[in-house]
A = this chain, B = another copy of it.
Amino acid sequence: MLAKGVTKCKTQDIARSSGRLLIWNMDIIEFFEANAGKWLSQRTHHHLAMSRSESGKAEVQIEPLTASHPAVIQLCQHGNLDTDRALCGVRITWNGMMAAETRQQTGTSLLVALQSGNDRQSGQLLQQNGRKDLLTGRYTLGSDEVLTLITEAESWYLEERLWLAGPNLRLRTSLLQQAGGFQSAAFCSEIRIGGGQTPAQSQPEVATTP
């Protein structure tokens, strides 16, 4: 419920009313909630130096988790980070294969978004893929509602961008840069085939203008 005399505005629109300024942007919790469900994913890899591509398909299940979910708390503790900073998490499970493969690949990944400043549009990211080492990275949700995820390790750097192009259509790109200059870009177009949920109501930020 908005205070009297305050107008709610969507991304980048700014309303001035009775000396109050209010800006509303989708935050990371709402973004993960809007991505919930089962998705049919078409994926293409471009191996940049070789100018060669390969394609595949997968089913991807996305399950948003609250900040108090045991898996979220456990991952924070694993990273020696204050659990109070956790905003939300997401568990991603996939099952599919590239055209050149002969058997299904399955996997699971757990991501936790942590509050780093005053907003919920950018912050620290914890990620664990299966039983592999814990990765730390960062996320930024742009004014265009594109989520950028950056994770890196000693020998590689991964930049992912993902957004909802429609209520049940998700697009994703990733760019992997490895030691020795090897680069690979990937693109996924994903259609939701079940299990979507309505995003929670946003909590707009309110600031006072002069």
**Interface positions of A (Cβ within 8 A of B):** 40, 42, 44, 46, 48, 51, 53, 55, 57, 140, 142-144, 146, 148, 159, 161, 163, 165-166, 169, 171, 173, 175, 177, 183, 185, 187, 189, 191, 210
Contact = CB atoms under 8 A, between A and B. Distances in A.
Copies in the complex: 2
B53 A46 contact: no
Contacts of A46: 42, 44, 187, 189
A148 B189 CA distance: 17
Contacts of A142: 142-144, 146
A159 B165 contact: yes
Contact of A48 (B159, B173, B187, B191): B191
A171 to B, nearest CB: 6
26 contacts: A40-B51, A42-B51, A42-B53, A44-B55, A44-B187, A46-B187, A46-B189, A48-B189, A53-B55, A142-B143, A143-B144, A144-B146, A144-B148, A146-B161, A161-B163, A165-B175, A165-B185, A169-B175, A169-B183, A171-B173, A171-B175, A171-B185, A173-B187, A185-B187, A185-B189, A210-B210
